[in-house]
């Protein structure tokens, strides 16, 4: 297991998805945590649409960064360190008009100061609509 301890979905959603965070505003919810992945969903609706009625690419990036940043923070000693986004990219592969998108985040590399994550996003039909890569930096608390 890559996590520093066994986390429940309730703990993760309560800690990282309260009303003051962007993820909560877009209704991102963590839905599954495995040995080496974390999964979450985001609705595709008027809050996440761009003007043409399809999922905004920026909303996909918010889902990717939320999943990857939370995953990074679950892998480190949060009493001493925090992990913050350093670089993110995304390839938008398919338009999504409604339903939920589900992101699955898994590590590519977990180093002492840098983590690299792959986040694949799927529509309700199970077709990939976006793939993203996030690099996070692990820094001592108070140094952000």
Annotated catalytic residues are 65
Beta-carbon contacts of residue 20 (< 8 Å; ≥ 6 apart): none
N-term to C-term CA, the chain: 27
Q: How far is Cα 33 from Cα 28, in angstroms, rounded to an integer?
A: 15
Q: How far is Cα 130 from Cα 53, in angstroms, rounded to an integer?
A: 17
Q: Alpha helices of 4-143 — where are they, by DSSP H? A: 9-16, 22-25, 57-74
Residue for token pair 């001493």: 80
Q: How far is Cα 33 from Cα 49, in angstroms, rounded to an integer?
A: 27
């Amino acid at each position: 297991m890559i996590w520093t301890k066994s986390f429940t979905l309730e703990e993760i959603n309560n800690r990282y998805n309260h009303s003051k965070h962007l993820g909560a505003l877009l209704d991102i919810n963590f839905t599954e945590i495995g040995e080496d992945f974390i999964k979450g969903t985001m609705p595709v609706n008027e809050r996440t649409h761009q003007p043409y009625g399809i999922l905004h690419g920026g909303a996909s990036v918010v889902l990717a960064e939320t999943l990857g940043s939370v995953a990074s923070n679950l892998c480190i000693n949060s009493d001493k360190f925090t992990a913050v986004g350093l670089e993110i990219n995304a390839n938008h592969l398919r338009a999504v008009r409604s339903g939920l998108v589900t992101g699955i985040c898994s590590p590519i590399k977990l180093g002492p100061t840098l983590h690299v994550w792959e986040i694949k996003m799927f529509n309700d039909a199970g077709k990939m609509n976006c793939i993203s890569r996030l690099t996070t930096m692990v820094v001592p608390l108070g140094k952000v």
